[in-house]
Amino acid sequence: MSQPKDDREQLGRAFVELADTLVDDYDVVDLLDRLVCHSVELLPADAAGIVLVDAHQQLRVLAASSEDAELMELMQLQNDEGPCLDCYRGVAQVSVADLAEAAQRWPRFVEAVAQRGVFRAVHALPLRLRGQAIGALNLFSSQPGALPPAELALGQALADVATIGILQERAIRRAETLSEQLQTALNSRLVIEQAKGVIRQHSNLTMDSAFDHLRSYARARNLRLSQVARDIVEGRLDPTALASALPRNNRT
- What pLDDT sits at residue 146? 92
Q: How far apart are CA 150 and CA 130, in angstroms?
A: 22
Q: Give the DSSP H/E element, type plus range, for residue 125.
A: strand 121-129
Of the candidates 138, 136, 115, the residue with the CA atom closest to the CA atom of residue 47: 138
pTM over 0.95: no
CA separation for the pair 159, 151 (Å, rounded): 12
Q: For 6, how many CA atoms within 13 A lie in the half-sphere containing its CB?
A: 1
CB–CB of 108/14 below 8 Å? Answer: no
What does residue 206 show for φ and ψ, rounded to 5 degrees?
Answer: -75, 170
Where do the H-state alpha helices sit in 95-206?
107-116, 149-166, 175-201
List beta partners, residue 93: none
Which phi and psi angles does 251 have, rounded to 5°? -85, 155
pLDDT one digit per residue (tens) for the chain, 252 residues:
334 334 666 766 766 666 665 665 567 788 888 889 888 988 999 999 999 988 788 899 989 999 999 999 999 999 999 999 999 999 999 999 999 999 999 999 999 899 888 999 999 999 988 788 999 999 999 999 999 999 999 999 888 888 887 776 445 455 556 677 777 788 888 999 999 999 998 888 899 999 999 999 998 888 989 999 999 999 999 888 776 555 454 444
Span between the terminal Cα atoms of the chain, in Å = 42
91 in Cβ contact with 74 (< 8 Å): no
Backbone region of residue 74 per phi and psi (left: phi > 0; alpha: psi in -120 to 50; beta: other values)? alpha
Question: DSSP class of residue 65?
Answer: S
